[in-house]
C-alpha cells in the first residue's frame, strides 16, 4: 500500500511542482515564413515567454494561411504577398500552427511548430512515463 | 489462431467425450453473457438487424467510391476522404476496436457481395457453394500478408489518405480482391489473410471487452455435426478459440448451435493478454511491431512539422519518396523487430531461460498490444478533432460541387481541443505503457526478464510523446 501512496505523491509532485524558470528579457523577434505546398520554412519557431513575435507569412505558390493552436490568431496570404501577424508569446509550451486555406491534398497536414520557452508538458509527460512503468511493474510484482 | 487445421495444440481439443482432458467449463467468473439478456438475444439471433446494418454500410461504401471517382479532387471537400479517413478511421480506433474488438468486421461491406455469391444467398445460405472453394495455401497462412498490406498503405499513405480518386481505387481494389478470392477460396480468405484493416482490428481485438466463446466444451464434444464450425464464415471452430483476434463477431455460430452453447461475453479489458502462447509463429509479433512502427511513421509524417518529410511521402516515385520508403521499411523491418528481439533476448539471457528465442518473441509480443492501441488512439486525437468541421461540411456537399444540402457546407466550427488534446494524448500514452508493463510482468518469470521489454515500451512511449506533444 505504501508504494502506491509514494507513487501518488510523486505523481502529484511531477504534475504540480513548478520547473525552474530561466529568466529572460523579452525581445522582439521577427520570423519570415515561406509557405509553399504542404510546408512552412522555417517550420519550427523558438521564442522565449513574453517575447513580442512578428510572423511575416509569404505564400510562394498558392494561397496559404496560418493559425496557431492555443493562440487566437489567423492570417492568410495570396501568392507573392506578405502578411504580418504580431503577438506576445504569453503562453509557454509547444504549439502547432496550421494552414487555414485549402492548398492541395496534404493541406490538412501542413503544420509547423511554435516553441515558447521550455515544453514543461513534455517533460512532465516523460517523467510520468517513468512512473507509469514503475506502477505497471509494481502492480504485478514478481 | 483458431482454424482447426492450424492450431498446433489441436490434439488437445476435445472433439469427443472420450477425451476429458480439459475442464468441462471454461472460467467465466468475470463475464456477462449478453446473449442471455432478453432484449439483446433476438437482435443477435435474427439475421435481419445485421443485414440492415450491412446494407447501410454497403450503400455508404458504394457512395464513397462514387464520390471519390466523380467528386472534387480536393480531399477536404470530398466525402470519400473525410468519411473514410477522418470519420470511419477515427470511429474504428476510438470506439469499434477498444469497445467491440472486431465488431466492425461484422458489418464491413467489403466481403459481402463475394460471400453472398459464394453462399448463393443473402440472408440464408444455399445448399451448395459457388466457386472453387479451395483451401487457402498453407504457406500464406497467418498475418504476414496483412502486415505487408499495412506497410503498403504506409508507403502510399500521403496520397491514399488525401486523394479521393486514389482512395476510391484502393476501395475498389479491396472490393475486387475480396470478391475474386471468395470465388476461388473457401470462407473469408480475404478477411482472414489479406485485409490490412482486418489485421489491425484483429490484433487489437485481444484487448477489447467482447468475446464469443463456448460455454461448455463437453456439450460441443458430444455434438458430432459441429454446425458452428460448418457455418462459421471465417472457418473457425469456437472450442478452439483462445483469443478474439480471428473471430469476426458475425454470430453465425450462435445462430447455428442447436444446444445454445455459445456466449457473447462482456469481459474485462485485455482478457486475452498475458496468457503464455505455445506457438513459435512470429506473424502476430511482426504485425504488432508493424503497427507500432506505423504509428511512429504516421505521427512523424502527418503531425510533425517536417514539411520535407510530408513532401517526400507525397511525391510518389520521386527520389525523395524512395528515400522515405526505404526509411519506413527500415523502421518496420529492421529497427522495430531488431530492437524488440534484442530486448527479449537480453531478458532471456539474464534469467538463463531455456525457451527458444522465437517462442519467447511470439509470447512477449502480447506486451505490444495495449501500447500500440493507445498510441494509435493518441495519434488519431491529434488530427481528428481539429478536422471535425470537414465532416459537417461534406455532409452538405459530399462531392465538393458547391451544394449546401443541410446548410452546413461552410461550417468552420471544430471542437477547440488545442489545450486539452495534448493532456489527453499524454494520459493515453501513459495508460498504454502502464497496461503493457503489467502484461510484461505477468508473462515474465522474473522482473529481470521483463525489464528490457519494459525499456523498449518506455522508449517507444517517449518517442510518441515527443512526436505528438513535443
Residue B12, pLDDT > 60, answer no
Is B429's Cβ below 8 Å from some Cβ in A? yes
ipTM of the complex: 0.94
Query: B220, B245, B266 — which closes off a domain?
Result: B266
Same domain, B247 and B310: no
Is A133's Cβ below 8 Å from some Cβ in B? yes
B288 inside domain: no
pLDDT-based confidence at B16, cuts 50/70/90? very low
Is A72's Cβ below 8 Å from some Cβ in B? no
How many domains, chain B? 2
Residue B326, pLDDT > 70, answer yes
Q: What's residue B28's pLDDT?
A: 59
Nearest to A27 by CA among A73, A89, A74, A84: A89
Q: What's residue B17's pLDDT?
A: 41
Same domain, B250 and B211: yes
| Average pLDDT over every residue of B397-415 | 85
Same domain, B131 and B197: yes
Helix (H) or strand (E) holding B283, with range, is: helix B283-298
Share of chain B above pLDDT 70, in %: 93
Cell numbers 502578411 correspond to what residue?
A83
Same domain, B125 and B165: yes
Residue B25, pLDDT > 50, answer no
What is the domain extent for residue B375? 297-469
Q: What's residue A3's pLDDT?
A: 87
Is A111's Cβ below 8 Å from some Cβ in B? yes
∠ CA B265-B13-B233 to the nearest 5 degrees? 55
Q: What's residue B71's pLDDT?
A: 96
Whether residues B458 and A129 touch (CB distance < 8 A) is answered with yes
B115 inside domain: yes
Same domain, B253 and B341: no
Same domain, B304 and B175: no
Is A137's Cβ below 8 Å from some Cβ in B? yes
Whole-number Å distance between alpha carbons of B202 and B291: 12
Same domain, B78 and B37: yes
Is A64's Cβ below 8 Å from some Cβ in B? no
Whether residues B419 and A136 touch (CB distance < 8 A) is answered with no
Same domain, B195 and B343: no
Q: What's residue B424's pLDDT?
A: 94
pLDDT averaged over chain B? Answer: 91
B1 inside domain: no
Chain A positions touching B74 (Cβ under 8 A) are: 102, 104-105
Q: What is the 3-state secondary structure (H, E, C) of B72-86?
A: CCCHHHCHHHHHHHH
B292 inside domain: no
∠ CA B330-B335-B337 to the nearest 5 degrees? 110
Q: What's residue B280's pLDDT?
A: 81
| Average pLDDT over every residue of B456-468 | 98
**Each residue of A59-98: pLDDT tens digit?**
999 999 999 988 888 999 999 889 999 999 999 999 999 9
Q: What's residue B4's pLDDT?
A: 53
Best of A31, A100, A109 to substitute, by most chain B Cβ atoms within 10 angstroms, is: A109
Q: What's residue B24's pLDDT?
A: 41
Q: What's residue B5's pLDDT?
A: 52
Same domain, B104 and B153: yes
Phi, psi of B133 (to 5 degrees): 55, 40
Positions of chain A with pLDDT under 50: none
**Each residue of B45-104: pLDDT tens digit?**
999 999 999 999 999 999 999 999 999 998 888 999 999 999 999 999 999 999 999 999
Same domain, B141 and B242: yes
Residue B6, pLDDT > 70, answer no
Q: Which residue of B has its CA nearest to A104?
A: B74
Q: What is the pTM of this model?
A: 0.92
Whether residues B441 and A136 touch (CB distance < 8 A) is answered with yes
Domains of chain A: 24-139 (2.60.40.420)
Same domain, B206 and B318: no
pLDDT-based confidence at B415, cuts 50/70/90? low
Amino acid at each position: 500500500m505504501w508504494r502506491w501512496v509514494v507513487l501518488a505523491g510523486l505523481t502529484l509532485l511531477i504534475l504540480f511542482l513548478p520547473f525552474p524558470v530561466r529568466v529572460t528579457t523579452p525581445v522582439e523577434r521577427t520570423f519570415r515564413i515561406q509557405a509553399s505546398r504542404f510546408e512552412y520554412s522555417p517550420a519550427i519557431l523558438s521564442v522565449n515567454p513574453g517575447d513580442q513575435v512578428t510572423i511575416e507569412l509569404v505564400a510562394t505558390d498558392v494561397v496559404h494561411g496560418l493559425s496557431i493552436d492555443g493562440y487566437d490568431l489567423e492570417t492568410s496570404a495570396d501568392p507573392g504577398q506578405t502578411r504580418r501577424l504580431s503577438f506576445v508569446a504569453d503562453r509557454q509550451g509547444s504549439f502547432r500552427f496550421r494552414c487555414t486555406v485549402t492548398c492541395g491534398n496534404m493541406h490538412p497536414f501542413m503544420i509547423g511548430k511554435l516553441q515558447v520557452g521550455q515544453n514543461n508538458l513534455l517533460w512532465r509527460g516523460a517523467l510520468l512515463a517513468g512512473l507509469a512503468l514503475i506502477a505497471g511493474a509494481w502492480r504485478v510484482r514478481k | 489462431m483458431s482454424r482447426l487445421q492450424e492450431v498446433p495444440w489441436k490434439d488437445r481439443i476435445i472433439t469427443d467425450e472420450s477425451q476429458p482432458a480439459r475442464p468441462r467449463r471454461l472460467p467465466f467468473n468475470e463475464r456477462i453473457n449478453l446473449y442471455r439478456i432478453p432484449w439483446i438475444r433476438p437482435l443477435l439471433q435474427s439475421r435481419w438487424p445485421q443485414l440492415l446494418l450491412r446494407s447501410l454500410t454497403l450503400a455508404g461504401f458504394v457512395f464513397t467510391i462514387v464520390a471519390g471517382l466523380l467528386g472534387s479532387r480536393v480531399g477536404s471537400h470530398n466525402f470519400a476522404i473525410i468519411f473514410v479517413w477522418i470519420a470511419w478511421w477515427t470511429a474504428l480506433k476510438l470506439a469499434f476496436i477498444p469497445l467491440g474488438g472486431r465488431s466492425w468486421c461484422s458489418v464491413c461491406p467489403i466481403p459481402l457481395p463475394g460471400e453472398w455469391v459464394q453462399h448463393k444467398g443473402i440472408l440464408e445460405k444455399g445448399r451448395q457453394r459457388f466457386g472453387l472453394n479451395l483451401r487457402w495455401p498453407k504457406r500464406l497462412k497467418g498475418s504476414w500478408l496483412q502486415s505487408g498490406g499495412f506497410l503498403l498503405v504506409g508507403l502510399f499513405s500521403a496520397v491514399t489518405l488525401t486523394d479521393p480518386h486514389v482512395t476510391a481505387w484502393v476501395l475498389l481494389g479491396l472490393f475486387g480482391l475480396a470478391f475474386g478470392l471468395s470465388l476461388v477460396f473457401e470462407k473469408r480468405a480475404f478477411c482472414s489473410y489479406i485485409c490490412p484493416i482486418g489485421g489491425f482490428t484483429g490484433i487489437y481485438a485481444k484487448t477489447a471487452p467482447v468475446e464469443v466463446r463456448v460455454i461448455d466444451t463437453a456439450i460441443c464434444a458430444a455434438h458430432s455435426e459441429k454446425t458452428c464450425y460448418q457455418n462459421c464464415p471465417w472457418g473457425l471452430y469456437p472450442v478452439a478459440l483462445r483469443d478474439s483476434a480471428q473471430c469476426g463477431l458475425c454470430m453465425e455460430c450462435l445462430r447455428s448451435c442447436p444446444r445454445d452453447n455459445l456466449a457473447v461475453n462482456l469481459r474485462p479489458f485485455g482478457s486475452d493478454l498475458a496468457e503464455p502462447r505455445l506457438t513459435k509463429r512470429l506473424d502476430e509479433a511482426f504485425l504488432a511491431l508493424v503497427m507500432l512502427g506505423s504509428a511512429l511513421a504516421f505521427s512523424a509524417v502527418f503531425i510533425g512539422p517536417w514539411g520535407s518529410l510530408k513532401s517526400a511521402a507525397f511525391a510518389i516515385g520521386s527520389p525523395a519518396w524512395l528515400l522515405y520508403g526505404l526509411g519506413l521499411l527500415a523502421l518496420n523491418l529492421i529497427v522495430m523487430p531488431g530492437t524488440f528481439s534484442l530486448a527479449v533476448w537480453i531478458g532471456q539471457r539474464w534469467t538463463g531461460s531455456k525457451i527458444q528465442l522465437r517462442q519467447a518473441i511470439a509470447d512477449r509480443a502480447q506486451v505490444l498490444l495495449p501500447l500500440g492501441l493507445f498510441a494509435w488512439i493518441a495519434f488519431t486525437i491529434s488530427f481528428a478533432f481539429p478536422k471535425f468541421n470537414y465532416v459537417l461540411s461534406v455532409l452538405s456537399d459530399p462531392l465538393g460541387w458547391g451544394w449546401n444540402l443541410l446548410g452546413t457546407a461552410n461550417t468552420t466550427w471544430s471542437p477547440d481541443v488545442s489545450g486539452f488534446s495534448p493532456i489527453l494524448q499524454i494520459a493515453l500514452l501513459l495508460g498504454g505503457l502502464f497496461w503493457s508493463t503489467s502484461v510484461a510482468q505477468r508473462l515474465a518469470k522474473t522482473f529481470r526478464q521483463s525489464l528490457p521489454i519494459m525499456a523498449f515500451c518506455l522508449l517507444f512511449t517517449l518517442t510518441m510523446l515527443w512526436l505528438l506533444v513535443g
